[in-house]
């Protein structure tokens, strides 16, 4: 089966032409069919935990566009919720959690099988998808990286500079590291269960890696991701892992070797030419079209898509955006991007 799946071929280190393609947040608010299904679910978290509806929204972009991969519909903050932290979403504003501010807040977190009990609907969604996706479509599971997840756990919400997490690192390094370690453990468990249920690839999203500097980048981005990949590979040695340290800049160089990732996903803060020279020699790369092209479209979209395909054409590459597609994207521009990648 693997030879039929172009993404698995690229993740094995092979150059595939045209490159396989999928898109971060490809199941989401830019699609009218997604909006209808979310309305049926009632709210975002209900959609995540309704296995039938989560399966449906994961399949929608596959039916519409024929992407080479489907990515599980879920959210990175399901892990802190499974650990016992209260989570809710405010319409138009995003997630909210009861922040971890004191040692007692950490000590209330769970560390046993009840985490899996909470996440059981997610594993059912993965199982559903394994039986419903086209045979040529790869199923990707995912989780947030410990640093990124912890920034929400300490702040209780998204912040522009991840200030509360940085402050906790200074105020109580023991508590800070304990939270990172607990999320690392839970993430290994979570990803292994996704693979058990049928995920063929897993991806680790470190969306706020760019706010770490100096030794902190190695300690709280590289080291936890390395530990997660080690934990996944110990049980599933043949399952590829994609890592996305968004905002890493020059630190993308050497990230494959430092973490054990089979593929490094790139944001649009580095040029494809630079990444082809400095990152792609380490293994497969994914990326890195600006998400704004999905809004504006036109010849600039075509030109930049061709530039990226050409830059990465001499090594393993999965075409993707440099970040998730935005709600104001035009679905027709997505089709134009796909046609350009596949048609030249």
| 141 bridge partner residues | 202
pLDDT of residue 4: 75
Which position among 64, 75, 124, 177 bears the catalytic label? Answer: 75
63 as an active site residue: the answer is no
Q: DSSP 3-state assignment of 11?
A: helix
Do 282 and 254 meet the contact criterion of CB atoms below 8 Å apart? Answer: yes
Q: What is the pLDDT of residues 208-218, one digit of tens each?
A: 999 999 999 99
Do 267 and 247 meet the contact criterion of CB atoms below 8 Å apart? Answer: yes
Which overall architecture, per CATH, does domain 2-343 show? Alpha-Beta Barrel (3.20)
pLDDT of residue 69: 98
Do 57 and 41 meet the contact criterion of CB atoms below 8 Å apart? Answer: no
pLDDT of residue 91: 82
25 as an active site residue: the answer is yes
38 as an active site residue: the answer is yes
Residue 322, burial from CB neighbour count under 10 angstroms (0-12, 13-18, 19+): buried
Q: How far is CA 101 from the centre of its chain?
A: 27
pLDDT of residue 344: 65
DSSP secondary structure code for residue 220 in this structure: I
pLDDT of residue 1: 47
206 as an active site residue: the answer is no
Give the residue ranges of the chain where pLDDT is below 70: 1-3, 344
Residue with tokens 């839970």: 186
Which position among 34, 152, 190, 252 bears the catalytic label? Answer: 152
pLDDT of residue 3: 59
pLDDT of residue 93: 87
Sequence ranges of the domains in the chain: 2-343
152 as an active site residue: the answer is yes
């Amino acid at each position: 089966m693997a030879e039929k799946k172009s993404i698995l071929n690229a993740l094995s280190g092979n150059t595939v032409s045209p490159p396989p393609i999928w898109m971060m947040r490809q199941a989401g608010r830019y699609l009218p069919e997604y909006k209808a299904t979310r309305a049926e679910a009632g709210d975002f978290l209900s959609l995540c935990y309704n296995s039938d509806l989560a399966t449906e929204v994961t399949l929608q972009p596959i039916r519409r566009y024929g992407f080479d991969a489907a990515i599980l519909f879920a959210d990175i903050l399901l892990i802190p919720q499974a650990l016992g932290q209260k989570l809710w979403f405010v319409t138009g504003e995003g997630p909210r959690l009861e922040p971890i501010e004191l040692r007692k807040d950490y000590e209330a977190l769970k560390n046993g099988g009840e985490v899996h009990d909470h996440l059981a609907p997610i594993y059912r969604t993965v199982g559903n998808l394994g039986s419903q996706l086209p045979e040529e479509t790869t199923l990707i599971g995912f989780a947030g990286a410990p640093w990124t997840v912890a920034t929400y756990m300490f702040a209780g919400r998204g912040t522009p500079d991840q200030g509360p997490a940085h402050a906790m690192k200074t105020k109580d390094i023991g508590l800070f590291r304990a939270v990172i370690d607990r999320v690392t453990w839970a993430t290994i468990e979570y990803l292994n269960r996704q693979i058990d249920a049928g995920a063929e690839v897993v991806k680790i999203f470190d969306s706020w890696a760019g706010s770490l500097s100096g030794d902190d980048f190695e300690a709280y981005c590289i080291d936890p991701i390395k530990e997660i990949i080690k934990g996944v590979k110990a049980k599933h040695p043949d399952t590829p892992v994609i890592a996305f340290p968004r905002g890493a800049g020059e630190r993308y160089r050497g990230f494959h070797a430092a973490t054990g990732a089979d593929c490094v996903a790139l944001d649009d803060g580095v040029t494809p030419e630079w990444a082809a020279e400095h990152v792609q020699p380490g293994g497969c790369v994914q990326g890195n079209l600006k998400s704004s092209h999905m809004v504006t479209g036109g010849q600039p979209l075509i030109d930049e898509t061709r530039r990226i395909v050409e830059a990465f054409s001499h090594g393993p590459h999965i075409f993707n955006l440099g970040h998730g597609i935005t709600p104001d994207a035009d679905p027709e521009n997505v089709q134009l991007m796909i046609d350009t990648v596949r048609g030249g």
